[in-house]
Amino acid sequence: MSFIVKKKISGKEYFYLRESKRVGGKVKAVTICYLGKTKKEAEEKKKEIEEGLKNKEVIQKDKMVEEKEQKELTIEDVASFCKRKGFIFRSSDIYGGFAGFWDYGPLGVELFNNVKKEWWNWFVESREDMEGIDCSIISHPRTWKASGHLTSFKDIAVVCRKCKKSTKIDVSEKGKVKCDCGGEYEEQGEFNLLFKTQVGALNAGDAYLRGETAQGMFMNFKQVMEASRQKLPFGIAQIGRCFRNEIAPRDFLFRSREFHIGEFEFFINPQETKCPLLDKEHLNVKLNLLDAETQEKGEEDLKLYTIGKMLKANKFGEWHAYWLAEQVMFFLDLGLDEDKIKVREHTKGELSHYSSATFDLDYLYPFGSKELAGNANRGQYDLTQHEKESKQKMEVFDSITNEKVIPRVIEPTFGMERVFLAVLVNSYYYDKKRDNIILKIPAKLAPYKAAVLPIIKKGEQGKIAKEVYDDIRKMFHCFWDEGGSIGRRYSRQDEIGTPMCITIDEQSLKDKTVTIRDRDTTRQVRVKIKELREVVRKVVEGESILKLGKEVKTRVK
């Protein structure tokens, strides 16, 4: 049975179609698709979906085919698609590549910029209590002594005695884990992940490329608070390149040696346990939790929790709960499938040297459910360490309690390449009927927002098409394609996720209208040229193309 559910994300309402089905003895509800932002829109779309597909069997059959095809997607398929379409290239490809390093191509840089823009907007621009910064990649070498990275930021290199594959394990996994093939590991030694470099010409000294952006936020904490006139609690955020000399880079972008972290340190009075921002919406955020106790028993069963239930179970405090909820909400807003997100609590033995409680947000990539983002309670660890090492006071005045304190810190962290990869995998869809890949990416993330495809490139039609293109691209990244059949041109845009294709035809000359084809349904509407910019804007904000013009019948889908 399918039904509509409403979700509130950051004050905005979103409607989804869900379906309940019996699995074993239990009834499970799964999300089928996003329906829109109003109840009316959602009801209309639900009706369309139910009418369009003749009966439940067809829905089931199509879903099974779709699931099968999605399951067969490998990370190698994704990498080769990214290369072919210009999203990601191997770094130094002409020299055979360089393990752990990647280059963004023309489409990749657009998609990545859009992902970063959404992150920055969600966590920085739309908030009063967050300040953004951008720090240097190389900082004083004592940074890494104080942070503990010089002594504790290590992995162990191992080689499997049976299949001879080399990989890395965490220090906490020493002697406890085996290779996937069942073979025992032979340890090759501990390696620090920080990249070392030399700074200066004469009397050059050792320095390190940053392994996380966090230290920039800790070292600048007092200056930022003062300059921006913030009060506790508040946060400092940045997105930037990080470097880790990974023992075994693998799974395409997932484990690289150079990548971007987007993270923020949220500073709170250590006595403050209440979070006034934690509301019903946060408490009701649902998640599949793999808790520490279950893992300690060697099991992997997920438990369905809400943030509210985790709080009641004393899994964490209110601020930690609030930020974990915000992270999940951000991922849902990017369109990630909630059933593919899992929250994994770190066991005591695997906690980083700076954390007293950590939760990973894992995403179901083609190679398994793996860490997409993290959320750690860093307490007062870093500020206290920098105070000791630099001999500079790190305490600040809390104007609410009238006391000087060293704040405690909650740190949500995101591997931005992993978000990029999750968005790609989540939207990569092979459409059997169209025999083509459709990148069903949310319009706000799409590299091109629209493509202009003139039916006839010369004469008056060509002139109007060029004017339309020149006008739209002043505001939106837009593609011009006059080469090949119209069907082929549509397919090329579907593959790279362009949400709308605009065509100019004979009727455009008569009534100054154009047709817009919707990527996901191939249906088309006709709109006035003078309204085009506004239509594109609405689509980028998430409105359905089909609601923005009069639907027209077409031969070419």
Which residues contribute to the site for ligand GAP (CB under 6 A)?
212, 214, 244, 246, 255-256, 259, 261, 263, 371-374, 411, 413, 415, 417-418
CB of 103 to ligand GAP, least distance (A): 15
Determine the Cα–Cα distance for residues 535 and 549; give it in Å rounded to an integer.
9
CB-wise, 360 or 505, nearer to ligand GAP? Answer: 360
Helices (H), 274-390: 280-283, 292-296, 307-312, 318-333, 381-390
User: Taking the complex as a whole, how short is the minimal distance between the CB of residue 372 and ligand GAP, in angstroms?
Assistant: 6
> How many Å apart are CA 501 and CA 515, to the nearest integer?
8
Q: Work out how close the CB of 34 gets to ligand GAP at its nearest, in angstroms, rounded to a whole number.
A: 25
Burial code (b: 16+ CB inside 10 Å, e: under 16) for 28-65 equals eeeebebbbbeeebbebbbeeeeeeeeeeeebeeeeee
Q: Minimum distance from CB of 212 to ligand GAP (Å)?
A: 3
Residue nearest to ligand GAP (CB): 415
Q: Which of residues 240 and 499 has its CB atom nearest to ligand GAP in the complex?
A: 240
Q: Which is nearer to ligand GAP, 16 or 102 (CB)?
A: 102
By beta-carbon proximity to ligand GAP, the closer residue of 413 and 544 is 413
For residue 187, the minimal CB distance to ligand GAP (Å) is 21
- In whole angstroms, the minimum distance from the beta carbon of 332 to ligand GAP comes to 18
Cα end-to-end span (Å), the chain? 30
Q: Which helix (H) or strand (E) holds 414?
A: strand 408-415
Closer CB to ligand GAP, 232 or 373, in the complex:
373
Our CB check for ligand GAP shows the closer of 214 and 468 to be 214
User: Quick check: 160 and 181 in contact, CB under 8 A?
Assistant: yes
Residues 6 or more apart in contact with residue 211 via CB below 8 angstroms: 144, 149, 153, 193, 194, 195, 242, 243, 244
Minimum CB separation of residue 193 from ligand GAP in Å reads 8
Nearer to ligand GAP, 342 or 418 (CB): 418
What is the spatial distance between Cα 70 and Cα 49, in angstroms, rounded to a whole number?
21
Alpha carbon 181 to its chain centroid, in Å, reads 31
Beta carbon nearer to ligand GAP, 353 or 530: 353
DSSP labels for 244-269?
Answer: ---SS-BTTTTB-SEEEEEEEEEEE-
- In angstroms, the CA 342 to CA 333 distance is 16
Closest separation between CB of residue 194 and ligand GAP, Å? 12
